[in-house]
Structure 1
């Protein structure tokens, strides 16, 4: 598992032993295998979902690491398909942004929350 997860990181130090231990413990919980199979079973529908992206009417932040596992052409296609999406590419980061760049992700979420509050008055 460590080798797979490291493949999604630019900074290997972001993958701590404590986090890896937690992932392994979660995977041993009763019922986890059923949940994992169900998630994997949805993968084709996740790819097919792009066909409905043009109907999205809410604000979208499309965030990728510079070295994400996705292809640049897929990222661009998602960005083009989502009307008004804000495309953000995080430099020197891989696929697991919340592990590798948690402060950057937190700042993006904070910025989004402030924007929503400003627009809705909440």
Structure 2
């Protein structure tokens, strides 16, 4: 595996691990809808503490899914779509590969079926 593919695989792994948690997915949804928000604002919309929200945001940040920028005493978080886009491209390529494999199996099965009828 090339270094580039290894890097993409690591990025995809981080994104998928971050997205495995429903609270983090909800945080991304909230941020996508609001544009940006503080951990305090986000915690008001979730059944978890502000400290838990901060921990979830740290995981999302490490995966490259959000970014935090300090504005005065607050940290405002926003979605960073690049890592999610890369993961979506990986998933689309994986789906296309499976579609090709299934089309080949279908073609082989139909050819075998046609040969059986001719015999």
Normalised-by-shorter TM-score class: under 0.3
TM-score of the pair, normalised by structure 2: 0.27
TM-score of the pair, normalised by structure 1: 0.27
Structure ID, larger Rg: 2
